[in-house]
């Protein structure tokens, strides 16, 4: 049985200042195996974050269901941890304090909190910065803290919403490779939202391509590139092939977007 089972998912938002509803995600079905790395791509506003937040238990479902290990998702749980798009760190806490935060909220009792936090901070390569405060870190470092905070609670499923969205291409590539290294060791199931086509391919076992109006899944593409992966893979023929396919998908979405704008 798949670890994450999404069936006929629909999420409506109420439009501001009216009773009209707006369907952000509709008829989404997806299953994710244990240990699988799934990336989600699609144009802006197609419901990627909404889908991820639904799996996190942070938005309520209008239709359908989400199961994790056979249990219905009704709210956040210790089996999942989220890495948000904005680093969302507590500015008054140090790196260590922030990594401990998730553990504290979950009332973790698997030993010394400080030790556990330090272990995670070292894992993401910030050992020397454990006493720094978020405003003393670069954007990339903050995202690493964010990842360490999520890994610390030892979730079954790691949910990441464009964690590298605010970084430059170079840093992004390095962080992606580092994330893979961590993931290969930790063996978590991962859902990863991104705008970056190369990133989506590089990380994924399978890529979920979403379309808009309302948000739906257009295609699920298997990525059979060998692991462990490194930058060399970016130049392989298989990679080029996947890149072309994804580009075509997103270009199609862009032209339909323009059409909508012209009509509107």
Partner 1 sequence: MIAELFYRRQALVLGTLSMIGIVVFWQIAVDTGFINPFFISTPSQVAAEFMAQFEDGSVATNVAATLYCFVWSLGLAAVVGIVLGMLAGWFADVEAALEPFIWFKYSAPTVAFYPLFVAWLGYGTPTIIAIAFLFALTPIYANTLSGIKNTDRDLARAARSFGARPLDIFLRVALPGSVPVMMAGLRLGVGRALTGVVVAELFGANAGLGYAITYYGQLMQTTKMMVSIVIVVVLGVLLTQILSFLESKTDSWRVDSNR
Ligand X SMILES: Nc1ncnc2c1ncn2[C@@H]1O[C@H](COP(=O)(O)OP(=O)(O)OP(=O)(O)O)[C@@H](O)[C@H]1O
Is residue 102 part of the contact set for partner 1 (CB under 8 A)? yes
Q: Any contact of residue 50 with ligand X (CB under 6 A)?
A: yes
CB of 191 to partner 1, least distance (A): 13
Residue 42 or 57 with smaller CB distance to partner 1:
57
The pair phi, psi for residue 56, each rounded to 5°, is -70, -15
Question: By CB under 8 A, is residue 91 in contact with partner 1?
Answer: yes
Under the binding rule (CB under 6 A), the answer on residue 246 touching ligand X is no
**Which of 21, 33, 45, 168 is in the footprint of ligand X by CB under 6 A?**
45
Select from 3, 39, 49, 189 the one that contacts Mg ion (CB under 5 A).
49
Give residues 137-156 in contact with partner 1 (rule: CB under 8 A): 153
Output b/e per residue, 120-133; b: 16+ Cβ within 10 A: bbebbebeebbeeb
Closest approach, Cβ 90 to ligand X, in A, equals 23
Cβ distance to ligand X smaller for residue 48 or 149: 48
Count of residues binding ligand X (CB under 6 A)?
A: 12
Applying CB under 6 A, which residues contact ligand X? 13, 22, 24, 42, 44-50, 215
Applying CB under 8 A, which residues contact partner 1? 56-58, 76-78, 80-82, 84, 86, 88, 90-92, 101-102, 104-106, 133-135, 153
Applying CB under 5 A, which residues contact Mg ion? 49
């Amino acid at each position: 049985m798949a670890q994450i089972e999404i069936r006929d998912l629909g999420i409506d938002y109420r439009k501001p200042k009216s009773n009209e509803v707006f369907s952000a995600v509709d008829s989404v079905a997806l299953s994710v195996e244990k240990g699988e790395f799934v990336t989600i791509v699609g144009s802006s506003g197609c419901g990627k974050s909404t889908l991820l937040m639904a799996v996190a238990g942070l938005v309520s479902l209008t239709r359908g269901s989400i199961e994790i290990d056979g249990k219905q998702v009704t709210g956040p749980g210790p089996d999942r941890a989220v890495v948000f798009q904005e680093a969302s760190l507590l500015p008054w806490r140090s790196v260590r304090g922030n990594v401990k935060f998730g553990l504290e909220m979950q009332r973790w009792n698997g030993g010394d909190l400080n030790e556990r936090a330090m272990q995670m901070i070292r894992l993401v390569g910030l050992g020397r910065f454990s006493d720094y405060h978020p405003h003393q870190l670069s954007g990339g470092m903050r995202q690493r803290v964010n990842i360490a905070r999520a890994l610390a609670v030892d979730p079954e499923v790691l949910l990441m919403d464009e964690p590298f969205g605010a970084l430059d291409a170079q840093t992004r590539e390095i962080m992606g490779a580092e994330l893979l290294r961590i993931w290969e060791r930790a063996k978590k199931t991962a859902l990863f939202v991104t705008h970056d086509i190369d990133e989506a391919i590089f990380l994924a076992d399978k890529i979920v391509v979403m379309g808009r109006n309302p948000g739906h899944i257009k295609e699920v593409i298997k990525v059979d590139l060998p692991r462990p992966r490194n930058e060399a893979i970016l130049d392989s023929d298989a990679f080029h092939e996947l890149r072309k396919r994804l580009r075509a998908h997103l270009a199609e979405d862009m032209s339909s977007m323009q059409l909508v704008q012209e009509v509107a």
